[in-house]
Structure 1
Amino acid sequence: MTFHNQQPIEVLLPHLKAWFDSDMGKELLAAEKVVVDRLVATLFGVHLAQFSVDSRVKLYKESPVTHCFSVIPSIELGLDEHNIVADNKDIPLAHESVDVVLLHHALDFTDSPHQVLREASRILRPGGHVVIVGFNPLSPWGLFRLFSRKKDQPPWNAHFISHRRLSDWLQLLHLTELRHITGYYSQAFEKATFRSRLSCIRNSIKRSPAHNGAFTVMLARKDIAGMTPLRSGWTLRRLINIPVAEPSTRGSLRKVRETR
């Protein structure tokens, strides 16, 4: 599967933030937070990393994890110490050092979503969990996106990766899918009056057994056979250095004899 080229994140970010500040964007974020809060409250560990496209969005406030931080794509004014500026495709974190990874639309707004997911799997310790939040192509929003004249603007320029595609990627990375949840069933109209008038359609879609909400949330666990989950290297105490005899060589033995 090929993905369309997107604008550089530095160019895209102001438009993306403006959309999240709109009424529809705020409603979507609120619905996402309700679902994610329920999931992260059950995930434990020492370190949680959220891959974000908007540094203002923090979806880990209900998490019991000791240390939570965000990985954001660009430097911004007013950033606190809980942010790391890095490319989501190349995270400067140690291998298997994080207990929980939260991807908030990080796969939707990148030229290489599979590489971003691979990085999330790399830094995730065995037994750790990943939570993926993204737009759902099998929803009224996905249908609206096909005929929208604003395909080059957020959120319609997102990738809208299907659940089936994500499931295949998870299996390749030894990630076992545990939950699949969708939410936010309002129609994709920017005006609140239009969305409220179509509340009957929203309720019928919500009662449908299919996963057709505007966003999807997937929870997966990193399972690797033959490996025992270890605590993160950041929390391990310094080991006591035990002197070990170095292996001798012919050259070293000859030098010792000459000195005698």
Structure 2
Amino acid sequence: MTFEQPPQVDELIPALKEWFDSPLGQELIEAERKLLEQVLPTLFGYHLLQVGVDNRLPMFAASPVPHRVLLGPTLELGMDKRAIVARSDELPVDGESMDVVLLHHALDFAENPHQTLREASRVLRPGGHLVIVGFNPASLWGAFRFLKRRRQVPWLAHFIRHGRLQDWLSLLELTEVKAVSALYAPPFESSHRRNRCRWLRGLMQRAPARSGAAMVVVARKDVPGITPLRRPWRRKLISLPVIEAKPSARGHSRRDNADE
């Protein structure tokens, strides 16, 4: 699949920040945090890496992992001391060193989502978990995206389909273990207009498939099964009972005659 390339992430940062600060953007972030509160407490380890597009938005508050690092694309004033600056497709992290990798809209705005996903898989230890947060094209937001100007944030994002994401995970030997979605309201900037469309929100909530605008996918990095070596076969000797010879009555009579 070829993607319509959005501008470079560092060029989008001002517009992304402004949109995330808007009421609609804040509603999305709140919905995503609630979804992460469902999945992060079940993922354990020592090291967590969040790869995102806005260093002001740490999304790992619900995680029990003690050492957490936030990675973003640009240097900003007042950055968290745990934050580092790097590209999402060239992570400056040792391979197989992270227990949890959280991609917060990193695939949506990546120049090459395939490479970003490969990098996340590379730094994830065997048995670790990858958490992907992104826009769901099978939602009202995905439908409204075709009516919006694609050059505007956030509608120029990739909006990767869940089925295609599953295929990519499978190629990297990552197994999906959970997928959840939320935020069923249409993406109107006006809260008044969103409230008037509550009937549409209820309709999408009753849809059989995951139809929320925000989607969280959790995948585990599988480890090939190890076949234990068999111990060399050893012949066991079975101890049989030994029958001791006992003198018979005839033997006793002969011995007595000889003594006489």
Q: Determine if the TM-score, normalized by the shorter chain, exceeds 0.5.
A: yes
Task: Give, as a single letter, the amino acid of the residue that structure 2 aligns with 1:225.
Answer: P
Per-residue CA shift, 1:180-229, capped at 9, x if unaligned?
111100101111111000011101211222111112110000002047xx
Counterpart position of 1:241: none
Per-residue CA shift, 1:213-260, capped at 9, x if unaligned?
112110000002047xxxxxxxxxxxxxxxxxxxxxxxxxxxxxxxxx
Counterpart position of 1:221: 220
Check the 8 A contact 1:37/1:59 in 2, yes or no.
no
Give, in whole Å, the separation in 1 of the partners of 2:71 and 2:161: 24
Per-residue CA shift, 1:62-94, capped at 9, x if unaligned?
111010111100100011221111000000100
Give, in whole Å, the separation in 2 of the partners of 1:31 and 1:222: 26
Q: How does 1:138-157 map to 2 (within 5 A)?
A: 138-148=138-148, 150-157=149-156
Aligned residues: 227
Runs of 4+ aligned structure 1 residues displaced above 6 Å come to none
Counterpart position of 2:183: 184
Offset, 1:129: 0.2
Counterpart position of 1:195: 194
Give, in whole Å, the separation in 2 of the partners of 1:186 and 1:160: 17
For structure 2, which runs of at least 5 residues remain unmatched after alignment? 227-260
Give, in whole Å, the separation in 1 of the partners of 2:213 and 2:64: 28
Task: Give, as a single letter, the amino acid of the residue that structure 1 aligns with 2:108.
Answer: D
Give, in whole Å, the separation in 1 of the partners of 2:79 and 2:130: 24
Give, in whole Å, the separation in 2 of the partners of 1:202 and 1:226: 45
For structure 1, which runs of at least 5 residues remain unmatched after alignment? 228-260
Question: How many percent identity over aligned positions?
Answer: 50
Give, in whole Å, the separation in 1 of the partners of 2:8 and 2:217: 26
| Structure number with bigger Rg | 2
Counterpart position of 1:94: 94
Counterpart position of 2:52: 52
Counterpart position of 1:8: 8
| Aligned-pair Cα RMSD in Å | 1.2
Per-residue CA shift, 1:47-69, capped at 9, x if unaligned?
00000101111111111101011
Per-residue CA shift, 1:83-111, capped at 9, x if unaligned?
11100000010010000000000000011
Give, in whole Å, the separation in 1 of the partners of 2:107 and 2:196: 32
Counterpart position of 1:232: none
Give, in whole Å, the separation in 2 of the partners of 1:25 and 1:215: 11
Check the 8 A contact 1:72/1:87 in 2, yes or no.
yes
Give, in whole Å, the separation in 2 of the partners of 1:23 and 1:106: 21
Q: How does 1:24-103 map to 2 (within 5 A)?
A: 24-103=24-103
Q: How does 1:243-254 map to 2 (within 5 A)?
A: none
Check the 8 A contact 2:8/2:111 in 1, yes or no.
no
Give, in whole Å, the separation in 1 of the partners of 2:211 and 2:62: 26
Task: Give, as a single letter, the amino acid of the residue that structure 2 aligns with 1:65.
Answer: V
Asked if 1:166 corresponds to 2:165, the answer is: yes
TM-score of the two chains, using structure 1 as the length reference: 0.85
Give, in whole Å, the separation in 1 of the partners of 2:16 and 2:26: 12
